[in-house]
């Protein structure tokens, strides 16, 4: 606790406050976490691996992509590279957060950034912007958000064997819908939409050419090269 000890709340009240803050976020985590659990179970991941993934990876998008690629029988290198690229944005998020946390020291900062997600990033950005930097609250929020995510994916994995078919629940649409969300969040200008569209066309062409397994990573590299090329070219 730092200088503003009078401000910080303790005990039960602190837990209630954190719970109130993560309530809207939990509304999203529970259905998507359960969808992840069911899909992981369908992709053949064990219960332990599914829950461990939620504990260790703790990134909805990367986890859904990974199980989608597992299910499609993609090569491991392709899965690793794809999830790395998809999660690169967390590098920027963590970097944006650390100026607020300088007093915390590297160990606590790392613990904080490990639990950072798109949603908790938005929440903490708002809190820190208001000057609300209470460390206890911050870690409580993160820990509770991750607990919700881990429990929902565990529940999903358990329920998975009882779900005979993913289609009536549209669970097979979780991944495409998630990509739409991610794309819209990151593509803030025309060039990025152009690059995304071009990459999509390349991916379609590669799948049509019979290169299913490598289409994702190849389209990413070709698309990124195209985007960088257009950017350099238009700047001149």
Cα Dmax for the chain: 65
CB distance 22 to 145 below 8 Å: yes
Taking the CA atoms of the chain, what radius of gyration do you get in angstroms? 20
Binding segment for other proteins (CB under 8 A), chosen from 1-9, 26-34, 103-111, 151-159, is 26-34
Binding segment for other proteins (CB under 8 A), chosen from 29-37, 100-108, 125-133, 228-236, is 29-37
- The distance of closest approach from Cβ of residue 200 to other proteins in the complex, given in angstroms and rounded to an integer, is 3
Three-state DSSP at 166 gives coil
In the chain, count of helices (H) and strands (E)? 11, 0
User: Binding pattern to other proteins, positions 135-154, x when CB under 8 A?
Assistant: --------------------
Among residues 1, 55, 183, 224, the one that binds other proteins under rule CB under 8 A: 183
Count residues contacting other proteins (CB under 8 A)? Answer: 40
- The distance of closest approach from Cβ of residue 9 to other proteins in the complex, given in angstroms and rounded to an integer, is 28
- Give whole-number Cα distances, 88 to 81, 100, 164, in Å: 10, 21, 35
Binding segment for other proteins (CB under 8 A), chosen from 57-65, 89-97, 98-106, 131-139, is 57-65
CB distance 173 to 54 below 8 Å: no
C-beta closer to other proteins: residue 138 or 215: 215
User: Residue 103: phi, psi to the nearest 5?
Assistant: -70, -10
Residue 118 sits in the site that holds other proteins (CB under 8 A): yes
């Amino acid at each position: 606790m730092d200088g503003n000890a009078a401000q910080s709340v303790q005990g039960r009240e602190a837990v209630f406050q954190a719970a109130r803050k993560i309530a809207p976020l939990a509304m999203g985590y529970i259905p998507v976490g359960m969808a992840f659990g069911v899909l992981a179970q369908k992709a053949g991941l064990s219960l332990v691996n599914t829950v461990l993934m939620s504990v260790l990876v703790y990134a909805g998008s990367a986890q859904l992509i990974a199980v989608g690629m597992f299910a499609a029988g993609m090569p491991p290198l392709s899965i690793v590279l794809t999830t790395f690229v998809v999660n690169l944005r967390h590098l920027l998020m963590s970097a944006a957060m650390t100026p607020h946390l300088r007093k915390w020291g590297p160990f606590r900062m790392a613990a904080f950034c490990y639990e950072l997600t798109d949603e908790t990033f938005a929440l903490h950005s708002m809190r820190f912007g208001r000057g609300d930097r209470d460390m206890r609250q911050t870690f409580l929020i993160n820990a509770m958000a991750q607990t919700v995510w881990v429990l929902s994916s565990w529940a999903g994995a358990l329920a998975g064997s009882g779900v005979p078919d993913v289609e009536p629940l549209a669970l097979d649409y979780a991944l495409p819908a998630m990509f739409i969300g991610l794309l819209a969040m990151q593509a803030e200008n025309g060039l990025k939409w152009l690059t995304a569209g071009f990459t999509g066309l390349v991916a379609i062409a590669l799948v049509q050419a019979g290169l299913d397994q490598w289409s994702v990573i190849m389209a990413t590299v070709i698309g990124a090269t195209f985007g960088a090329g257009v950017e350099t070219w238009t700047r001149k």
